Structure 1
Amino acid sequence: MTGRFDMAHRRDVLRLLFNGAVFAAGGGAAALASGPAWARPTAVRPPKLPGLIETSRAFPDISERIAAISQGLLGTRYRGHTLIGSPKTSEEFVSREDAFDCVTFCETVLAAALSARPEDFVPALRMIRYHDGIVTYYARNHYFHEWCARNIANGLCREVELPGMVTIEKTVTWHREFEPRHFTMRVIPANSVLDHHAMLKNGDIAGFVTRRASLDYFHTGFVMFGRNGKSKGELLLRHAAESRRRVIDEPMARFLRANRVRYVTVLRPRDPAASTATSKI
């Protein structure tokens, strides 16, 4: 009986990934049919993620798995506003691999890298995106500062410290549905990221602090070295770029300069064996 259930569960997960979107917490097929057009995949195609999860198991270190999985998604188109939910409508759990914004790209790759098998992907993604994995609009990590804090608290990531770190204060009001929130943020000057890049690893998650007074961060992506993501070469940012409308590799120095970045936060994903949160995934 258990074996039949496991096989059925595996087929269900792969079917949902094949459809390009996963809708849970009251969603399912009805949500897939009724969701907004911009949140539905435009075509059904064989999924990449299950195969990327399986092949990346050959790499013992999570940084190598992130490099391999994210490389397999280079060129995927950019699309914003793919998550479904609001203060007035029910939150639907969404997973898709046919289009990303900067945050959903990082969430998807990290969840895949944490997964020992394709069936582990959905619960991992829920833990990353939502506080305690609870799928509601108010439990979603809307501000990237809270995304970082919660994914450190649950053991999935740790903060990377570089020379010159400073503390800044911000009161954010970008999401008008929430009361103003005050954040105390430990950040790295952009020049220190470049000067001390040898202290970084493939797969580190970089968050870029915005100059807007009402918001914390404006973008995120993965640190990579070298065009193939494997060698200590040029420092790159692998990210879902709105300006280029797809997932790309871009020289980190160029990105920092073009966007007048002053401060960066860097997190390092932890291997599941080192994480206290693995029992939740």
Structure 2
Amino acid sequence: MNVQALTVSLMLAHLMTASAAPGTEKYQTIMDSLTAGKVSRIIHTDVLPFSGEDHGEVISRVSSAFPGTPYQANTLIGGPGTPESLVANFNGVDCFTFIDYTEALTRSHDQASFLRNLAAVRYTGGNVSYLSRRHFFSDWSATKPYNARDVTPDISPDYAVADKQLNRKPDGSEYIPGLGIHPRKIHYIPGKAISRQVLDNLKTGDYVGVYSALDGLDVSHVGIVVRHDGKVWFRNASSLAENNKVVDSPFAEYMRAKPGIVVLRAESSAMTGDTQ
């Protein structure tokens, strides 16, 4: 479940300082000095020197700056009755803010472009408001500008299709009041069908969601495919007590008992609507 979207965000203004970037005048932008420093360092060491490289490899390299970062839910500011702010906070991440930051960084060339790209990645149409947040993982491939495309059917012929009513609780009410109910077909590969062929077909930098069987949700957790030490790993912001930070988990082992996976792929900044 997208924790950041389904609970009221905690106010973290006392940890951060406001900064204004071009095009952000309609909303507050919040980024502390530690995060600003990390943004600049990652862009200049892991993005700019590798212009033109495969986008998945850039995602892997950028995301490698986050392992060890504490898990922290509810870092975003906004909700029913609370104005939305564009928050960049690398001091603690949940599974969704982790992939938001990673994808935005891969598209950026400086701090200002990072903030613009973060707005484009996190919000439908780049409209910084609570109801425009991409509250569901499948929003990345279903709402414009697209962050990625759904490649789940390309990964395995054994994929399944679920007709979902996203945002609908079992009692008929909404997880996110005012967002409405969104019918959507979700492609997923059942956990029991995650074979060696599936692992071989996953690309470095693929964004993977753990499929949720609940009708109102698409996934319960998200992370990134990375490869090192001759193995496939699931890089994710883990809330498990033994982790409570961004970690690399063995992919096959992690997914063995899960209901399935949804795979999205951001292949290039041009495809995803780069705002540089």
Q: Distance in 1 between matches of 2:116 and 2:36?
A: 21
Please tell me whether the aligned partners of residues 156 and 270 of structure 1 are also in contact (alpha carbons under 8 angstroms).
no
The aligned counterpart of 2:267 is 270
Q: CA deviation digits over 1:180-230, x for unaligned, max 9?
A: 332211222234444321111111000111133332210000001125xxx
Pick the aligned partner of 1:129 from 90, 102, 122. Answer: 122
Q: CA deviation at 1:111?
A: 0.7
SS of 2:183's partner is strand
Instruction: Select the structure that is richer in helix.
Output: 1
Q: CA RMSD in A?
A: 2.5
Q: How does 1:108-119 map to 2 (within 5 A)?
A: 108-119=101-112
The aligned counterpart of 2:40 is 50
Cα 1:64–1:20, aligned 2, differ >3 Å: closer, same or farther? farther
Cα 1:124–1:62, aligned 2, differ >3 Å: closer, same or farther? same
Unaligned runs of at least 5 residues, structure 1: 1-17, 33-39, 228-232
Q: CA deviation digits over 1:22-71, x for unaligned, max 9?
A: 6854325xxx6xxxxxxx97x95772221111112223222221111111
Cα 1:106–1:22, aligned 2, differ >3 Å: closer, same or farther? farther
Q: Distance in 1 between matches of 2:262 and 2:100?
A: 16
SS of 1:52's partner is helix
Pick the aligned partner of 1:88 from 81, 98, 117. Answer: 81
Aligned residue pairs total: 242
Cα 1:205–1:20, aligned 2, differ >3 Å: closer, same or farther? farther
Partner amino acid for 2:28? G
Residue 258 of structure 2 is aligned to residue 261 of structure 1: yes
Please tell me whether the aligned partners of residues 55 and 267 of structure 2 are also in contact (alpha carbons under 8 angstroms).
yes
Partner amino acid for 2:254? F
Q: Distance in 1 between matches of 2:252 and 2:272?
A: 35
Q: How does 1:6-155 map to 2 (within 5 A)?
A: 25-27=26-28, 44=34, 47-56=37-46, 57-59=48-50, 60-150=53-143, 153-155=144-146
Cα 1:103–1:78, aligned 2, differ >3 Å: closer, same or farther? same
Residue 148 of structure 2 is aligned to residue 157 of structure 1: yes
The aligned counterpart of 2:248 is 249
The aligned counterpart of 1:238 is 235
Pick the aligned partner of 1:204 from 203, 206, 210. Answer: 206
Cα 1:110–1:176, aligned 2, differ >3 Å: closer, same or farther? closer
Unaligned runs of at least 5 residues, structure 2: 1-14, 170-174
Identity %: 27
> Normalising to structure 2: TM-score of the pair?
0.79
Structure number with larger C-alpha Rg: 1
Please tell me whether the aligned partners of residues 209 and 263 of structure 1 are also in contact (alpha carbons under 8 angstroms).
yes
SS of 2:214's partner is coil
